[in-house]
């Protein structure tokens, strides 16, 4: 039952362990761990994972470095846009009002500049940046 459900998940969509019933959550976690060792699923964050495409299942999984320098923004899930000067020009109309962190990261990622990614990863951690990227990617494909 769980193997079929794991195989039917959409690729590159962020899932939580809550998609499985509470009674069988331990069994589902062990199956997800096995699938991550096989390369079908990538686990990141607390109880979050996504399914890789079949063509990438044999490729090695990248290790996530999660040492964010701005832990308060992650804790409160909001940030004042003029906090970091490198991204200040993107938020010229809203400088001093706190906005949700996901909106902030997705706006910076929408610029499609690869030089911004190391800064985002150092400020907020790889896991948060990848989660926001995958969520915004899935929202764009709908």
Asked if 107 contacts 90 with a C-beta cutoff of 8 angstroms, the reply is: yes
Q: Given a cut of 80, is residue 65 above it in pLDDT?
A: no
Residue 106: which of 66, 79, 69 has the closest Cα?
A: 79
Q: What confidence tier does 2 reach under pLDDT thresholds 50, 70, 90? A: low
> In terms of pLDDT, which residue wins out, 66 or 127?
127
Strand-pairing partners, residue 78, are 100
3-state secondary structure the chain: CHHHHHHCCCECCCEEHHHCCHHHHHHHHHHHHHHHHHCCEEEECCCEEEECCHHHCCCCCCCCCCCCCCHHHHHHCEECHHHCHHHHHHHCCCCCCCEEHHHHHHHHHCCCCHHHHHHHHHHHCHHHHHHHHHHHHHHHHC
Domain ranges of the chain: 2-56, 71-141
d(CA 5, CA 44): 19
Q: Residue 138 half-sphere exposure, CB side, CA atoms within 13 Å?
A: 14
d(CA 105, CA 1): 36
Give the residue-averaged pLDDT of 62-78. Answer: 81
pLDDT of residue 141: 60
Question: 21-25, 32-36, 108-112 — which is least confidently predicted?
Answer: 21-25
d(CA 128, CA 130): 6
């Amino acid at each position: 039952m769980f193997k079929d459900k794991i195989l039917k998940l959409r690729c590159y969509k962020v899932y939580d362990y809550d998609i499985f019933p509470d009674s069988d959550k331990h069994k589902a976690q062990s199956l997800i761990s096995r699938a991550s060792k096989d390369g079908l699923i990538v686990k990141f964050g607390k109880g979050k994972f996504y399914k890789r495409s079949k063509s990438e299942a044999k490729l090695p999984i990248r290790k996530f470095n999660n040492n964010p320098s701005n832990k308060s923004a992650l804790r409160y899930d909001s940030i004042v846009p003029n906090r970091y000067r490198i991204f200040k020009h993107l938020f010229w109309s809203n400088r001093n009002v706190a906005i949700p962190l996901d909106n902030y990261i997705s706006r910076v990622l929408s610029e499609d500049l690869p030089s911004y990614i190391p800064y985002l990863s150092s400020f907020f951690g790889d896991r948060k940046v990848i989660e926001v990227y995958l969520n915004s990617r899935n929202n764009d494909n709908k």
